[in-house]
């Protein structure tokens, strides 16, 4: 791959998916796009780039999807789901007792393990949520992973990473060598293709947003923009779950960390003056 | 240091599992069938048992039923690790007192996830 081709791909991926590729990630591009080039009958990445420059829109979508990291598994990191069961659901059961509805958004739902883990958590609440309307929206940039999520079919390897065996036999059925999540759990999830870089205000407001292990691939400016827009889609007493290596600290004051629960954040009602648009910054005020 | 008893009639499986679990600082004891595993447990109960189902002399299911009847035999966490990968076998194992279930083939990620699930890692 020539430096020119790499630069073209780097810019395109940044624009289309927010992926912030460092200059030392040429190996990653080569390992993911060489098979795609071969599949398209092209000699290599140079040919792929040329086709894209000539306006091959479908191929461009395939390239963006191939460069997306879809690593996921059931109950990944465990803690966010403990927070959901032990902190978020009890708080929202009280706060939403009058309207009896919950809306949860998986902003990078990938192949479905995260939204289905949430659905199983809700189902395990048993009669506590009887009569409640629960909505789980799973979005992802990639149509391919959303298709897999919709099907809810997983390999033996996939169902053994993070999924307790009791939940496997309770919520899945064996289909040949695969395991399929039961239709009633599948029906709890609404799947939608969505690019986090684009407007998502049409999704409405949520009581909880899972946005885990996706912002790590974005540069600071993009992260801040997404956080700002996520805060607008969040109920004032809602919750945001980020990945273990992610934080809002130092990036935005739209959210504040939960005092006791690592990885859990809530909208910040009291915003620091320096970050409120149109207001003089704290530094400026001190200088004045 | 926690002890894990690996029960499998395949020396290759025992070796692979030993390598993975030693990486998590387990002291490993091995047995090649259920009866030999029971002898080990009569001497000293391990913290965990990684248990094959199909073995000569005494199979894993029979071993588990005997273990759970022993004084203190409800304490070790038992993880089946078997090619019997259908719902009926899994349900039977859980009913007999298994804590987790690994369907072969397995790898380090799966063993790690399952041992984390039962609080041993």
- pLDDT at residue A138 in the model: 98
Q: How many CB pairs under 8 A join A and B?
A: 32
CATH architecture, range A79-267: 3-Layer(aba) Sandwich (3.40)
Range in A58-62, A229-233, A265-269 the model is least confident about: A58-62
For residues A141-160, average pLDDT: 95
Query: Do the chains contact at A174 and B87, CB–CB below 8 Å?
Result: yes
Fold of B3-117: Rossmann fold (3.40.50)
pLDDT tens digits, A23-75: 888 888 888 898 889 888 998 999 999 999 998 888 888 888 888 777 789 99
Range in A103-117, A194-208, A272-286 the model is least confident about: A272-286
User: Which residues in chain B have their CB less than 8 angstroms from residue A180's CB?
Assistant: none
For residues A108-134, average pLDDT: 96
**Is a pLDDT exceeding 70 seen at residue A275?**
no
Of B94, B103, B114, the CB nearest to A166: B94
CATH classification number, A3-66, choose in 1.10.1330, 1.10.155, 2.60.120, 1.10.3470:
1.10.155
Of B90, B109, B110, the CB nearest to A169: B90
Question: CA-to-CA distance for A278 and A261, rounded, in angstroms?
Answer: 33
Q: How confident is the model at residue A270 (pLDDT cuts 50, 70, 90)?
A: low
Q: Is residue B50 within a helix (H) or strand (E), and if so which, with residue range?
A: strand B48-51
A160 Cβ contact partners less than 8 Å away, ≥ 6 residues apart: B102, B103, B106, B110, B113, B114
The two structure tokens encoding residue A92: 């929202």
For residues A255-261, average pLDDT: 95
**Is a pLDDT exceeding 70 seen at residue A259?**
yes
> Residues A231, A254: contact at Cβ < 8 Å?
yes
Question: CA-to-CA distance for B55 and A216, rounded, in angstroms?
Answer: 47
- pLDDT at residue A279 in the model: 41
Look over chain A and give the mean of its residue pLDDT values, rounded to a whole number.
Answer: 90
Quick one: which of A165, A140, A162, A148 has its CA closest to A111? A148
- pLDDT at residue A26 in the model: 86
Q: How confident is the model at residue A287 (pLDDT cuts 50, 70, 90)?
A: very low
- pLDDT at residue A71 in the model: 74
Who has greater pLDDT, A64 or A206? A206
Q: How confident is the model at residue A21 (pLDDT cuts 50, 70, 90)?
A: confident
User: Which residues in chain A have their CB less than 8 angstroms from residue B108's CB?
Assistant: none
The two structure tokens encoding residue A118: 């949430």
For residues A128-134, average pLDDT: 95
**Is a pLDDT exceeding 80 seen at residue A281?**
no
Whole-number percent of chain A with pLDDT over 90: 71
pLDDT tens digits, B71-115: 999 999 999 999 999 999 999 999 999 999 999 999 999 999 999
Look over chain B and give the mean of its residue pLDDT values, rounded to a whole number.
Answer: 97
Q: What angle do CA B106, B10, B98 make, to 5 degrees?
A: 55
Contacts with B, A 130-189, CB within 8 Å: 156-157, 160-162, 164-166, 168-169, 173-174
Strands (E), chain A: 101-106, 133-140, 153-154, 172-175, 178-181, 189-193, 206-211, 234-242, 255-257, 264-267
Kindly report the nearest CA distance between residue A182 and chain B, in angstroms: 14
Q: How confident is the model at residue A235 (pLDDT cuts 50, 70, 90)?
A: very high
**Is a pLDDT exceeding 90 seen at residue A274?**
no
pLDDT tens digits, B14-47: 999 999 999 999 999 999 999 999 999 999 999 9
User: Which residues in chain A have their CB less than 8 angstroms from residue B100's CB?
Assistant: 164-165
- pLDDT at residue A271 in the model: 59
Query: Do the chains contact at A169 and B102, CB–CB below 8 Å?
Result: no
Quick one: which of A93, A184, A191 has its CA closest to A150? A191
Alpha helices in chain B (DSSP H): 11-22, 34-43, 60-69, 87-95, 108-117
Place of tokens 């298994």: B98
- What residues form DSSP beta bridges with A193? A140
Domain ranges of chain B: 3-117
User: Which residues in chain B have their CB less than 8 angstroms from residue A166's CB?
Assistant: 94
- The pairing of strands A255-257 and A264-267 is antiparallel
pTM recorded for the entire structure: 0.86
- Which of A77, A164, A165 to mutate to probe the B interface, most B CBs <10 Å? A165
pLDDT tens digits, A67-120: 877 778 999 999 999 999 999 999 999 999 999 999 999 999 999 999 999 999
By C-alpha distance, the chain A residue nearest B112 is A161
For residues A107-134, average pLDDT: 96
Give this complex's ipTM.
Answer: 0.94
Query: Do the chains contact at A169 and B86, CB–CB below 8 Å?
Result: no
By C-alpha distance, the chain A residue nearest B105 is A157
By C-alpha distance, the chain B residue nearest A171 is B87
Q: Would you call A71 an interface residue with chain B, using a CB distance cutoff of 8 Å? A: no
Quick one: which of A91, A96, A87 has its CA closest to A134? A96
Question: CA-to-CA distance for A251 and B99, rounded, in angstroms?
Answer: 43
For residues A209-218, average pLDDT: 92
Q: How confident is the model at residue A288 (pLDDT cuts 50, 70, 90)?
A: very low
Of B86, B101, B113, the CB nearest to A162: B113
User: Which residues in chain A have their CB less than 8 angstroms from residue B94's CB?
Assistant: 165-166, 169
> Residues A67, A29: contact at Cβ < 8 Å?
yes
**Is a pLDDT exceeding 50 seen at residue A278?**
no
For residues B10-15, average pLDDT: 96
């Amino acid at each position: 791959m020539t430096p020119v081709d790499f630069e073209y791909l780097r810019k395109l991926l940044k624009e289309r998916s927010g992926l912030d590729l460092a200059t030392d990630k040429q190996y990653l591009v080569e390992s993911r796009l060489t098979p795609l080039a071969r599949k398209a009958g092209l000699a290599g990445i140079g040919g792929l780039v040329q086709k894209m420059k000539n306006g091959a829109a479908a191929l461009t979508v395939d390239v963006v999807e191939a460069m997306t990291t879809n690593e996921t598994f059931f109950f990944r990191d465990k803690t966010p789901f403990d927070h959901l069961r032990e902190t978020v659901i009890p708080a929202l059961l009280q706060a939403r007792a009058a309207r009896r509805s919950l809306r949860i958004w998986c902003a990078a739902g990938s192949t479905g393990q995260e939204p289905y883990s949430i659905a199983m958590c809700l189902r395990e609440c048993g009669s506590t949520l009887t009569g409640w309307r629960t909505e789980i929206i799973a979005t992802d940039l990639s149509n391919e992973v959303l298709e897999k999520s919709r099907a809810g079919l997983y390999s033996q390897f996939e169902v053994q990473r993070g999924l307790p065996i009791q939940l496997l036999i309770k919520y899945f059925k064996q289909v040949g060598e695969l395991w399929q999540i039961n239709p009633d759990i599948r029906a709890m999830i609404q799947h939608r293709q969505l690019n986090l870089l684009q407007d998502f205000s049409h999704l409405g407001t949520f009581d909880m947003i899972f946005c885990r292990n996706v912002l790590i691939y974005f540069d600071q400016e993009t992260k801040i923009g997404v956080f700002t827009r996520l805060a607008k889609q969040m109920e004032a007493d809602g919750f945001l779950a980020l990945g273990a290596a992610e934080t809002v600290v130092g990036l935005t004051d739209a959210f504040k960390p939960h005092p006791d629960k690592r990885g859990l954040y809530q909208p910040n009602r009291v915003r620091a003056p320096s970050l409120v648009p149109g207001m003089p910054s704290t530094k400026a005020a001190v200088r004045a | 240091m926690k002890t894990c008893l690996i029960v499998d009639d395949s020396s290759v499986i025992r070796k692979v599992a030993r390598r993975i679990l030693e990486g998590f600082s387990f002291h490993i004891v091995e047995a090649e069938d259920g009866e030999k595993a029971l002898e080990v447990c009569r001497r000293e109960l391990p913290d965990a048992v990684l248990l094959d189902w199909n073995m000569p002399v005494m199979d894993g299911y029979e071993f588990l039923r005997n273990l759970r009847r022993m004084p203190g035999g409800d304490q070790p966490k038992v993880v089946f690790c078997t090619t019997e990968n259908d719902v009926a076998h899994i349900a039977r194992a859980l009913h007999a007192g298994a804590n987790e279930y690994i369907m072969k083939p397995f790898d380090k990620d799966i063993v790690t996830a399952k041992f984390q699930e039962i609080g041993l890692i």
